[in-house]
Copies of this chain bind each other. A is one copy, B any other.
Amino acid sequence: MSESLRDKVAVIGVGCTKFGDNFDASYEDMVVEAAFAAMADAGVEPERIEAAWLGSYSPYGGNGKASVSLADAIRLYDRPITRVENYCATGTDAFRNAAMAVAAGACDVALVVGAEKLKDRPVRGLARDAAHPYKGDGLTAPGMMAMAANRYFHRFSIGRETLAKVAVKNHHNGSLNPKAHFRMEVTEEQVLKAPIIAWPYGLLDCCPTTDGAAAAVICRAGMAHEFRQDPVLVRGLGLAVKTGRPWYDPCDDHVGFPATGEAARAAYRMAGIANPVGEIDLAEVHDCFTWPEITHYEDLGFCPKGAGAAFIAEGRSALTGDLPVNPSGGLKSFGHPIGATGVRMIYEIVTQLRGEAGPRQVRGAATGLVHNLGGPGAVACVVILSRN
């Protein structure tokens, strides 16, 4: 990703539904709420939207939808709408493609929507479906993320107590967030005593199954001040894809997700960031389970490999730490409607950079990082946003 894209695109509006068991809202209801909230936030009339990108993972099971579902929900006709899918990194990759189109001059103002309705019917291919490409190997999402954690435990001699600290922190942050799926605090003892799902993960180590939608309005940076005084600039973008069957990869040391490192390096290069510590003020990372957050600290360069346990034990990733991670509550507490998650992370970072995050506000937030992971850790997308 070339440096020539740096700061060419601005986020001028964000919107997000309450995440949770939204049985009273359809997929379309959530898309409407998030999209119109983002347009209102940007001060942009629907007519100004020249193109849109939809991030939705599972369209035909009824859990997500194709491009026409966005057109019909918000009556956005006669314009380009692309649906992007990239496993659980769907939302950020939709944002990335939209940002590149704006940077290319293909459109001045674009809408990005991420949406997924997971609660109405079973999700094909996530935790249950043996016909899914990598479920054929017997690996459900909890199963494969558990294997990776066990290997890390063996290598770095940590235990479930470290994972529990992630759950405690992210539930605390989520308890401060009115849009989070789960708003209850949990204790380390509760996390450790919860029923085991796939060792070392207990129930409270796993993100929930959630409905939700989020949206962002972006524009050419040069015109952002037409819309608002505090646009947020897209400073870095990185996406990297690795093998879809990492457990067969003899070159992988299996103590993290190499795709994250590649995506982060690309994003840092574009952003001109030499060392994220000191230059990144806060991050939203993909804590689909508790252990991944530990390795993300390392793979994103917040601390050396193997030092993630100390990073959280010392409180560095807490709301009051020097590099708060998942101030929103993360996937763990905010929830994880697949295609929505990446856009929801952008919603959180933009809200924080504007100083509008209320009781979960990170002080002095000027540059924030979004990290979205997909598949068996095979896909990672990193977005870096800065106050103008």
Contact = CB atoms under 8 A, between A and B. Distances in A.
A67 B1 CA distance: 18
Contact of A66 (B59, B80, B96, B244): B244
18 contacts: A2-B105, A60-B125, A60-B132, A62-B133, A65-B133, A67-B241, A68-B244, A68-B379, A69-B244, A78-B242, A78-B258, A80-B96, A80-B241, A82-B96, A85-B85, A97-B100, A97-B101, A103-B105
A279 interface: no
Given A81-B86, A82-B86, 12 more contacts: A1-B107, A2-B105, A62-B131, A66-B133, A67-B379, A68-B242, A69-B244, A72-B245, A76-B241, A78-B240, A80-B240, A104-B104
A140 to B, nearest CB: 15
A124 B1 contact: no
A62 B193 CA distance: 40
Interface string A241-284: 11111000000000000110010001000000000000000000
Nearest to A70: B241
Contacts of A132: 60
A245 B68 CA distance: 9
Interface of A: 1-2, 4-5, 8, 58-60, 62, 65-72, 76-87, 93, 96-97, 100-101, 103-107, 124-125, 129, 131-133, 237-245, 258-259, 262, 266, 375, 378-379
B106 A2 contact: yes
Contact of A60 (B4, B71, B133, B245): B133
Given A66-B244, A241-B68, A241-B79, A106 B105 contact: no
A242 B81 CA distance: 10
A1 B71 contact: no
Given A80-B241, A85-B83, A106 B1 contact: yes
